[in-house]
Chain A
C-alpha cells in the first residue's frame, strides 16, 4: 500500500474551519483516499473517502489535488467533539485492510 504523510498534530478553535493535510505522492491511479478518526477511548470511525473528485458528507469535505498527490480533510466548523486522531489511508483495488499511519492529533479549544 502506498504511504501517506500527515502532520503529527494540529490545533483549532471551536467554531472555526479546520484543514487537515495529507501527502501521498506515490498514490496509484486506482487508490482510494480514506479518512478515519479515532476519538479518545473509542474505536476508529469512518469520516469520508474519495477517488478523484472532491467529496462532501455530513461530517466533512475531502478536497483532492488535481494530481492526486495530496488531499485535505475539511471540518467546516470544529467542535470539541472533533478532537481526535485523524488518519489518512490509501486503499488499492484489492485493499481489504486499513493500513494506519501515525495520523494527526487534532486539538480543539473553546
Chain B
C-alpha cells in the first residue's frame, strides 16, 4: 500500500498571504488528522476529518481551516500568515476508530513564513 503523501514538501510564503496544503491518505482510510510541529510548542493537534466532516478540533485560531473530499483526500488552509505559522505540518491517516486506531503520518510540509 502506498503511504500518506503530502504536497508540497516545502513552501515559502510571506506574512499576510494564505497557503493550502494537501494530504492524500492511505487507500481505504477515512480519517485524516493534521498536526503542527514547532521547536517551541512541539507536536500539536489541529483538526481531524472523518467522512468529509470535521470531527475534532484543536486549540488553533480560525485562520486555520481544513476540508476533506469524498475520496478522503484533505486540504488545510492557513489565511493571513504570521511568522509564527512557520512549522512542519503533518497529516496522518487512519481508519478513524477512536481510541485504538493507528495513525500513519506523512513526511510533512515544511512551511516558512518570511
Contact = CB atoms under 8 A, between A and B. Distances in A.
B96 A96 contact: yes
Q: Which size class do A's interface residues fall under?
A: 20 to 34
Nearest to A101: B42
A44 B42 contact: no
Interface string B25-53: 00000010101000000111100101000
Contacts of B106: 43
Interface of A: 30, 32, 36, 38, 42-46, 49, 87, 91-103
Interface of B: 4, 31, 33, 35, 42-45, 48, 50, 55-56, 58, 90, 92, 96, 98-100, 102-108
B98 A96 contact: yes
Nearest to A43: B105
By secondary structure, the A interface counts as loop
By secondary structure, the B interface counts as strand
Contacts of A95: 98-99
B99 A42 contact: no
B42 A100 contact: yes
B102 A46 contact: yes
A65 B99 CA distance: 20
Given A94-B98, A96-B98, A43 B55 contact: no
B99 A94 contact: yes
B91 to A, nearest CB: 9
Contacts of B99: 30, 32, 91-95
Given A36-B103, A97-B56, A100-B44, 15 more contacts: A43-B90, A43-B106, A43-B107, A43-B108, A44-B103, A46-B102, A91-B98, A96-B48, A96-B55, A97-B33, A98-B103, A100-B35, A100-B45, A102-B42, A103-B42
Contacts of A44: 43, 90, 92, 103, 105
A49 B103 CA distance: 12
A94 to B, nearest CB: 5
Contacts of B55: 96
A62 B29 CA distance: 26
